[in-house]
Amino acid sequence: MRCGRKGPLVSSSCSTRTTDGKGRLDMNTIISAPPVRVFNADYSPLDAVTWQDAVGMLLREVAFALEPHDPPRVLRSPSAEIELPKSMLLARYAAVPYRRVADHASRSEILRRDAHVCQYAGCGARATTIDHVFPRSRGGGNTWSNLVACCAECNHRKADRTPAEAGMRLIREPFRPAGV
Protein backbone atom coordinates (compact mmCIF):
# COMPACT_ATOMS: atom_id res chain seq x y z
CA MET A 1 0.00 0.00 0.00
CA ARG A 2 1.08 3.53 -0.66
CA CYS A 3 1.88 5.70 2.40
CA GLY A 4 0.22 3.21 4.76
CA ARG A 5 -3.40 3.69 3.69
CA LYS A 6 -5.87 1.54 1.83
CA GLY A 7 -6.90 2.96 -1.47
CA PRO A 8 -5.47 3.79 -4.85
CA LEU A 9 -1.82 4.61 -5.06
CA VAL A 10 -2.37 8.25 -5.89
CA SER A 11 -0.61 10.88 -3.89
CA SER A 12 1.08 14.22 -4.18
CA SER A 13 3.03 14.12 -0.93
CA CYS A 14 4.58 10.63 -0.62
CA SER A 15 8.34 10.41 -0.45
CA THR A 16 9.23 7.23 -2.39
CA ARG A 17 10.39 8.14 -5.88
CA THR A 18 12.08 6.28 -8.71
CA THR A 19 13.78 8.74 -11.00
CA ASP A 20 16.95 9.01 -12.98
CA GLY A 21 18.52 11.20 -10.30
CA LYS A 22 17.39 14.45 -11.93
CA GLY A 23 13.73 14.12 -10.93
CA ARG A 24 12.71 12.59 -14.26
CA LEU A 25 10.96 9.25 -14.59
CA ASP A 26 12.85 6.52 -16.40
CA MET A 27 10.21 5.50 -18.98
CA ASN A 28 12.07 2.29 -19.93
CA THR A 29 11.37 1.02 -16.41
CA ILE A 30 7.64 1.75 -16.76
CA ILE A 31 7.25 0.55 -20.35
CA SER A 32 8.85 -2.81 -19.57
CA ALA A 33 6.76 -3.33 -16.42
CA PRO A 34 5.46 -6.90 -16.07
CA PRO A 35 1.71 -7.53 -16.06
CA VAL A 36 -0.16 -6.62 -12.88
CA ARG A 37 -1.98 -9.53 -11.23
CA VAL A 38 -5.63 -8.87 -10.38
CA PHE A 39 -7.40 -10.66 -7.52
CA ASN A 40 -11.14 -10.77 -6.87
CA ALA A 41 -12.50 -9.24 -3.66
CA ASP A 42 -12.30 -12.70 -2.04
CA TYR A 43 -8.58 -12.86 -2.94
CA SER A 44 -9.07 -15.51 -5.63
CA PRO A 45 -6.87 -14.91 -8.71
CA LEU A 46 -8.68 -13.48 -11.72
CA ASP A 47 -6.34 -12.21 -14.41
CA ALA A 48 -3.30 -10.14 -15.28
CA VAL A 49 -3.55 -6.69 -16.87
CA THR A 50 -1.11 -4.25 -18.45
CA TRP A 51 0.28 -1.40 -16.38
CA GLN A 52 -1.89 1.05 -18.38
CA ASP A 53 -5.06 -0.85 -17.46
CA ALA A 54 -3.87 -1.11 -13.85
CA VAL A 55 -3.44 2.68 -13.64
CA GLY A 56 -6.93 3.17 -15.07
CA MET A 57 -8.39 0.79 -12.50
CA LEU A 58 -6.60 2.61 -9.67
CA LEU A 59 -7.80 6.04 -10.84
CA ARG A 60 -11.40 4.83 -11.16
CA GLU A 61 -11.08 3.16 -7.74
CA VAL A 62 -12.21 -0.16 -9.19
CA ALA A 63 -9.23 -1.84 -7.52
CA PHE A 64 -6.73 -1.18 -4.75
CA ALA A 65 -3.04 -2.03 -4.62
CA LEU A 66 -2.05 -5.16 -2.75
CA GLU A 67 1.68 -5.42 -3.31
CA PRO A 68 4.09 -2.69 -4.48
CA HIS A 69 7.10 -3.22 -6.75
CA ASP A 70 10.51 -3.31 -5.14
CA PRO A 71 11.97 -0.79 -5.98
CA PRO A 72 8.80 1.28 -6.44
CA ARG A 73 7.76 2.30 -9.95
CA VAL A 74 6.08 5.69 -9.92
CA LEU A 75 4.26 7.56 -12.70
CA ARG A 76 4.13 11.32 -12.29
CA SER A 77 2.04 14.06 -13.79
CA PRO A 78 2.01 17.74 -12.83
CA SER A 79 -0.78 17.07 -10.34
CA ALA A 80 -0.36 13.47 -9.11
CA GLU A 81 1.91 10.50 -8.52
CA ILE A 82 0.78 6.93 -9.10
CA GLU A 83 2.83 3.99 -7.88
CA LEU A 84 2.42 0.90 -10.05
CA PRO A 85 1.50 -2.18 -7.99
CA LYS A 86 2.60 -5.78 -8.56
CA SER A 87 -0.90 -6.98 -7.68
CA MET A 88 -4.32 -5.44 -7.16
CA LEU A 89 -7.52 -6.36 -5.32
CA LEU A 90 -10.91 -5.52 -6.81
CA ALA A 91 -13.01 -3.19 -4.67
CA ARG A 92 -16.17 -5.24 -5.33
CA TYR A 93 -16.59 -8.96 -5.92
CA ALA A 94 -16.84 -9.87 -9.60
CA ALA A 95 -19.03 -12.92 -10.20
CA VAL A 96 -17.21 -15.49 -12.31
CA PRO A 97 -19.48 -17.92 -14.17
CA TYR A 98 -18.83 -21.60 -13.58
CA ARG A 99 -17.01 -23.18 -16.50
CA ARG A 100 -17.40 -26.92 -16.72
CA VAL A 101 -14.23 -28.55 -17.99
CA ALA A 102 -15.19 -30.71 -20.92
CA ASP A 103 -13.36 -34.00 -21.17
CA HIS A 104 -14.56 -34.49 -24.75
CA ALA A 105 -11.77 -34.60 -27.31
CA SER A 106 -12.01 -34.29 -31.08
CA ARG A 107 -10.21 -36.42 -33.67
CA SER A 108 -7.87 -33.60 -34.72
CA GLU A 109 -6.98 -32.82 -31.08
CA ILE A 110 -6.09 -36.47 -30.41
CA LEU A 111 -3.98 -36.73 -33.58
CA ARG A 112 -2.19 -33.48 -32.66
CA ARG A 113 -1.57 -34.64 -29.07
CA ASP A 114 -0.04 -37.92 -30.29
CA ALA A 115 1.84 -36.22 -33.18
CA HIS A 116 0.18 -38.54 -35.76
CA VAL A 117 2.16 -41.48 -34.35
CA CYS A 118 0.34 -44.79 -33.93
CA GLN A 119 0.27 -45.47 -30.19
CA TYR A 120 0.48 -49.26 -30.48
CA ALA A 121 3.94 -50.75 -30.04
CA GLY A 122 5.75 -52.14 -33.07
CA CYS A 123 3.86 -50.06 -35.58
CA GLY A 124 5.75 -47.30 -37.37
CA ALA A 125 2.90 -46.24 -39.64
CA ARG A 126 1.46 -42.71 -39.67
CA ALA A 127 -1.72 -42.53 -37.60
CA THR A 128 -4.77 -41.34 -39.50
CA THR A 129 -7.54 -42.70 -37.27
CA ILE A 130 -8.32 -42.68 -33.57
CA ASP A 131 -8.99 -45.70 -31.40
CA HIS A 132 -10.97 -46.16 -28.20
CA VAL A 133 -8.68 -47.93 -25.72
CA PHE A 134 -11.74 -49.24 -23.89
CA PRO A 135 -14.22 -49.96 -26.72
CA ARG A 136 -17.31 -47.77 -27.15
CA SER A 137 -19.50 -50.87 -27.35
CA ARG A 138 -18.53 -51.63 -23.75
CA GLY A 139 -19.11 -48.11 -22.46
CA GLY A 140 -15.84 -46.38 -23.36
CA GLY A 141 -16.32 -42.68 -24.06
CA ASN A 142 -14.79 -40.03 -26.29
CA THR A 143 -12.52 -38.72 -23.54
CA TRP A 144 -8.87 -37.70 -23.50
CA SER A 145 -8.04 -40.70 -21.32
CA ASN A 146 -9.74 -43.22 -23.65
CA LEU A 147 -8.67 -42.07 -27.15
CA VAL A 148 -5.33 -42.59 -28.91
CA ALA A 149 -4.00 -41.98 -32.41
CA CYS A 150 -3.83 -45.19 -34.40
CA CYS A 151 -3.05 -46.36 -37.94
CA ALA A 152 -5.87 -48.05 -39.85
CA GLU A 153 -4.20 -51.48 -39.78
CA CYS A 154 -3.74 -51.52 -35.97
CA ASN A 155 -7.24 -50.11 -35.47
CA HIS A 156 -8.70 -52.97 -37.54
CA ARG A 157 -6.51 -55.58 -35.79
CA LYS A 158 -7.57 -54.41 -32.31
CA ALA A 159 -11.23 -54.26 -33.36
CA ASP A 160 -13.73 -54.34 -30.49
CA ARG A 161 -11.30 -55.50 -27.81
CA THR A 162 -9.11 -53.94 -25.16
CA PRO A 163 -5.37 -53.76 -25.94
CA ALA A 164 -4.69 -56.63 -23.48
CA GLU A 165 -7.30 -58.85 -25.15
CA ALA A 166 -5.84 -58.07 -28.59
CA GLY A 167 -2.26 -58.77 -27.43
CA MET A 168 -1.25 -55.12 -28.07
CA ARG A 169 0.26 -52.56 -25.77
CA LEU A 170 0.26 -48.78 -25.81
CA ILE A 171 3.48 -46.80 -26.24
CA ARG A 172 2.16 -44.37 -23.63
CA GLU A 173 -1.03 -43.96 -21.67
CA PRO A 174 -3.49 -41.40 -23.08
CA PHE A 175 -3.59 -38.09 -21.18
CA ARG A 176 -5.24 -34.72 -21.16
CA PRO A 177 -2.82 -32.04 -22.46
CA ALA A 178 -2.13 -29.09 -20.21
CA GLY A 179 -4.23 -26.02 -20.93
CA VAL A 180 -7.14 -27.91 -22.49
What pLDDT is recorded for position 94? 94
CA gap 33, 13 in Å, rounded: 24
Residue 69 contacts by C-beta under 8 Å, 6 or more apart in sequence? 33, 83, 84, 85, 86
What pLDDT is recorded for position 168? 92
Q: What is the pLDDT of residues 83-113, one digit of tens each?
A: 999 999 999 999 988 776 667 888 899 999 9
What pLDDT is recorded for position 76? 86
What pLDDT is recorded for position 17? 42
CA gap 88, 31 in Å, rounded: 19
The amino acid present at 62, given as its one-letter code, is V
- 87-108 b/e with 16+ CB inside 10 Å = b? bbbbeeeeeeeeeeeeeebeee
What pLDDT is recorded for position 11? 42
Pairing of strands 36-39, 81-90: parallel
What pLDDT is recorded for position 18? 44
Helix (H/G/I), strand (E/B), else coil: 90: strand
What pLDDT is recorded for position 31? 61
From the CA atom positions of the chain, what is the Rg in Å?
Answer: 27
Q: What is the pLDDT of residues 108-119, one digit of tens each?
A: 999 999 999 999
Q: What residue ranges define each of the domains in the chain, with the CATH number in brackets?
A: 10-90 (no CATH), 107-166 (1.10.30.50)
Residues of the chain with pLDDT under 70: 1-31, 100-102, 180
Model-wide pTM > 0.75: no
What pLDDT is recorded for position 62? 96
Report CA 6 to chain centroid distance, whole Å: 29
What pLDDT is recorded for position 28? 52
Residue 32 contacts by C-beta under 8 Å, 6 or more apart in sequence? none
Residue 22 contacts by C-beta under 8 Å, 6 or more apart in sequence? none
